[in-house]
Amino acid sequence: MAESDSTVRTHHAILIGVGSHNEKSNETKVQGALADIKDIRAILEPHPQIKVTTFGIGPDNERIGREPTVQNIRNFLIEEVAPTGSEGHISDVYIHFSGHGSREPENKLRNDPLVLVLTDNNLGTSFLAKQVAKLNEQKINVTVVLDCCFSASSRRDDEESNVRFMEYESRYECDEEDTLDNEDALRVITEDGTRGVTLESLVNHPILHKYPDRYAIFTACDANEIAEEIELKGKGRRGVLSYFFARALADLSERGGRSTYESLHQHLRSLVRRAYPDQTPMLYGKLKESFFPELNSRDSLPIVTVHVDKGVITLEAGAAHGVCVGDEYEAAPFYAAENRAAMFVEQCSRFRVVEVRNLTSTLSSADQSGSCSVFSTDTATCTWKARPVSSLSEKKTAIRLGPCLSEDERLTLREEGKRYPYLQLLDPDEQRSSIGAFSVAIDTLPNGDSYAIFSSVTGIKVPRIPTFLRGDCDVLQRVARVLGHLAKFRFFEEMEHEGLDEAFEGTFEITTAHTQDHAGSYTVQSGQVWQVTCANYSDAAPLYIAIFNFDFWWEISPLSFARGDGELLVLHGQRPKHVGESSKVVRLRMRLDEEDGDEREDVIKLFITNKPTSFQAMTLPSLAETESGRGDESALSSTPSGSLSVMNRGEKWAVRTFRIRTRK
């Protein structure tokens, strides 16, 4: 489109599509590579603030933009893109690669054997990581999409194959400067000001760990999976990731939606796995300032994906996520605004869980009409995002309201408490099998009476929780917010798998060389490393591990995601053809901050599953954010307790819990 001389280019998109290769190569061509970047270019070019540069060649040698050679792309990134940050013009860079990936042989002794196949040679992904890190240092946000695969177990045997992997050829050598040396690959970034638990490097590019909030990398699949192409009627082939990525961007733009990269990833993973069960898109990094304005919702909610297939509405969460039959969820389309002020206000529907499996559940409409017409023809192939509004779990956190509270105060707290799904408020004389985790009482202080929260076991005030001056405006709403926060924290902290699956448990092992004390905790000194070894003993099936910290300050955070390593740690099977690791050592650096005092306790939980699933809905912000209202996750109602009733259908999960005490 025409642009005025005054147009300021703040965003730069680099689109690379490689459909054919060096004529010496006898590998098959990538039919949809050029079409992929044409589709993305069509979405980006109408935006005057975006500069688009293409490197493209099609399977029939059609060319757009520059030749996608190693020298051209390397020189472009070093000489043309990198300087724009120091000059203050560019704030965001987007790199989209569509084509073949490959993997160098293990005898190359390089720490990162993954390469992108260009027309003349291989470009190491280590070089790409270095360039991303350099841009991040200039405070440039970088989004990368790699629509290829690196799975050496998926060589294509016919030229019509849709798989985007190219067998490694020795004549396509990476330049040494494109690789990471051992020192780079093994060093650990020291993060000044880091408090508590830090997960050390689990990925091949630790140089990216310094600024995990400045990049996002989408890959078409995991290292041992295949990236496929989809055949569009009358339009040829497209890469599966590129196709659904472009569709999501177009949908958000057309509907004026707002979302986040995390929600986009769940959306893509749901769509892709329903069409191609063996392909799982991955997301690394935790960039919030997206290249795309439609994905710039910083105030994100922990959500769960919902999809419909042949009239069956499926919630992508199950027993492993604390779901019970009778739980209710509010759902809104993928493109709905994702912030606490606007989400679910429009196009909102309510659903009830009617069947629970280990990792997924079946929903039915809970709207008064009983209709599921919200999933019309055009949305039936899409995904929705949901959050719980009520729980029927018998494991909800019980908090007793003290007799010193007035009847009006208890009534208000009970009413406000209905907004928090995992909270069960008890009257002073209400009988229950357990005494409850906490109690609310009046504490007399020099500046006046205050509401305080006490431990029902010790009878003392719960540490690191504020008190609330009685009579302040909206004080009971603030108390209820904190109670809801504590209830969710304790609900998931104490969650265990009640019916162990011995067959599944026999396929893996989670061990630590550290010794427990008499209370079942592990004690380390501040600055030391606590580690656990995770091993997959199955021949072929991968395992997925989500690592969460339930920390000293009442926050629930995914440790792997916080370092930019992606939400799930993947352990591959032990068959020789698999290229990933079947065991990994998880190293946690334990630190004390000045605010922690002389000791702190963190609870580390590892959720192990046989299929990829998201636990992001489990996350909790700091208690300070919740108390201020910024992190409020209140729902609309809650209901009495109920039952679990779990179905299996091949979904497996397990959990391991470790209490770690850090001392000076």
Please report the DSSP string for 312-328 in residue order.
EEEES--GGGT--TT-E
| Residue with the larger pLDDT of the pair 435 and 613 | 613
Residues 6+ apart with CB under 8 A from 234: none
Number of structural domains (the chain) is 4
Same domain, 147 and 58: yes
Q: Is residue 201 part of a domain?
A: no
Same domain, 321 and 375: yes
For residue 495, give the 3-state DSSP assignment: coil
User: Any idea which of 17-21, 398-402, 477-481, 505-509 has the lowest mean pLDDT?
Assistant: 17-21
Question: Exposed, middle or buried, 133 (CB in 10 Å: 0-12/13-18/19+)?
Answer: buried
pTM above 0.75, yes or no: yes
Can you give the pLDDT at residue 638?
A: 40
Say whether pLDDT at 50 is over 90.
yes
Same domain, 149 and 222: yes
How many whole angstroms separate alpha carbon 423 and alpha carbon 272? 36
Can you give the pLDDT at residue 155?
A: 35
Say which residue the tokens 């419909």 belong to: 308
> What count of Cα atoms within 13 Å lies in the side-chain half-sphere of residue 633?
29
Say whether pLDDT at 566 is over 70.
yes
Q: Is residue 3 part of a domain?
A: no
Q: Is residue 199 part of a domain?
A: no
- CATH number, position 570: 2.20.130.20
Same domain, 172 and 275: yes
User: Any idea which of 331-345, 554-568, 593-607 has the lowest mean pLDDT?
Assistant: 331-345
| Residue with the larger pLDDT of the pair 11 and 596 | 11
Domain C-terminal end among 433, 461, 493: 493
How many whole angstroms separate alpha carbon 53 and alpha carbon 41? 9
Average pLDDT over residues 472-484: 94
Q: Is residue 658 part of a domain?
A: yes
Same domain, 469 and 443: yes
Average pLDDT over residues 233-248: 94
User: Any idea which of 13-22, 255-264, 472-481, 607-616 has the lowest mean pLDDT?
Assistant: 255-264
Say whether pLDDT at 379 is over 60.
no
Say whether pLDDT at 181 is over 50.
no
Can you give the pLDDT at residue 199?
A: 62
Same domain, 276 and 341: no
Q: What does the pLDDT look like over 424-442, one tens digit per residue?
A: 999 998 877 666 789 999 9
Same domain, 483 and 603: no
Domain C-terminal end among 390, 425, 445: 390
How many whole angstroms separate alpha carbon 16 and alpha carbon 27? 19
Measured CA to CA in angstroms, residue 502 lies from 197, 320, 419, 506 at distances of 31, 16, 38, 6
Confidence of residue 198 (pLDDT cuts 50, 70, 90): low
R_g of the chain, CA atoms, integer Å: 26
- CATH number, position 321: 2.40.10
Check: CB of residue 320 under 8 Å from CB of residue 609: yes
| Residue with the larger pLDDT of the pair 211 and 544 | 544
Same domain, 104 and 248: yes
Same domain, 476 and 510: no
Can you give the pLDDT at residue 633?
A: 57
Average pLDDT over residues 345-364: 90
Residues 6+ apart with CB under 8 A from 254: none
Can you give the pLDDT at residue 599?
A: 92
User: Any idea which of 108-112, 474-478, 526-530, 640-644 has the lowest mean pLDDT?
Assistant: 640-644
Q: Which structural domain, as residue segments, surrounds residue 566?
A: 502-638+648-663
- CATH number, position 155: 3.40.50.1460
Domain C-terminal end among 295, 330, 363: 295
Same domain, 525 and 608: yes
User: Any idea which of 296-310, 371-385, 603-617 has the lowest mean pLDDT?
Assistant: 371-385
Mean pLDDT of the chain: 82
Same domain, 363 and 438: no
C-alpha dihedral, 289 to 266 to 96 to 117, nearest 10°: 140
Q: Is residue 192 part of a domain?
A: no
Same domain, 364 and 425: no
